[in-house]
Amino acid sequence: MSESADPIRFVLASRSPARLATLRAAGVEPEVIVSDVDEEAIEAALPDATPAELAQVLARAKAEAVAKAMSGPAIVVGCDSVFELDGRPYGKPGTADVARERWQQMFGKTGVLHTGHCVIDTGANQRAEATASTQVSMGTMTPEEMDDYLATEEPLEVAGGFTLDGLGGAFIESIQGDPSTVVGISLPTLRRLLADLGVRWTALWNTEPA
C-alpha cells in the first residue's frame, strides 16, 4: 500500500481490550473485527509446535480470517500471545482453578511471553510477520492475594494468566524486553512490519474507525 493522503482502513483482528488500549495510547484508533478463530482446534492440531511457533500460527490465522472478509483495501493486524515456562506453552487459563495452578507453578520463576504478529495488506495482497519475545520474572502471592486476584477474573482470558498493564502488574518483578509485547501487541515490531509493507506508522495517528 503506497503512502498517500487517503485514509487507511486499519483493522485489529482481536477482541483484546489491552491490545486496543495499547494502540489507542500510541495514537492509533483501529477498527476492531474479531476473527472468531478456533484457537483450541489450532493448538490441538500442532502438538509439536514451540510456544513461539504457536503464537505466530494463531496470529496468522486471525489475520487471514479477517482479511478474507474485507470488501475493500485494508491493513489487518492479527496477534496472539503464548507464555512459555520451562519449555511449555501456557495460553488462556479459562478457569480460576487452572489460573491458580499456573500461578503456583510460576512463582519466583522467569518465563518468556511470545507475541506473534501478522499484518496483511488486502489491497496489495502482501503480508509481513514477526514474533516478539520478552522475558517476564514473576513474583509471588499470599493465599489471600491469590484469592482476591482470581475473584476479579482478570487472569482467566489472558496468556499465562497474568497482565502487566492491569491488576496483575504488581506481581511481576521485572521484564527484559519490550513491555508492549507482554500486553499483547509489540508497537516497535508492528511499526517495522508496517514499514515493510510501505505504511508509515505516523500516517496511522489519530485515524478514525472505518
196 is catalytic: no
74 phi and psi angles, rounded to 5 deg: -160, 160
Residues 6+ apart with CB under 8 A from 1: 8, 73, 75, 121, 123, 124, 197, 198, 199
Question: How does DSSP assign 72-122, residue by residue?
Answer: S--EEEEEEEEEEETTEEE----SHHHHHHHHHHHTT-EEEEEEEEEEEET
Neighbours of 101 (CB within 10 A): 13
Q: Of 6, 48, 80, 148, which one is the catalytic site residue? A: 80
Which residues carry out catalysis? Answer: 80
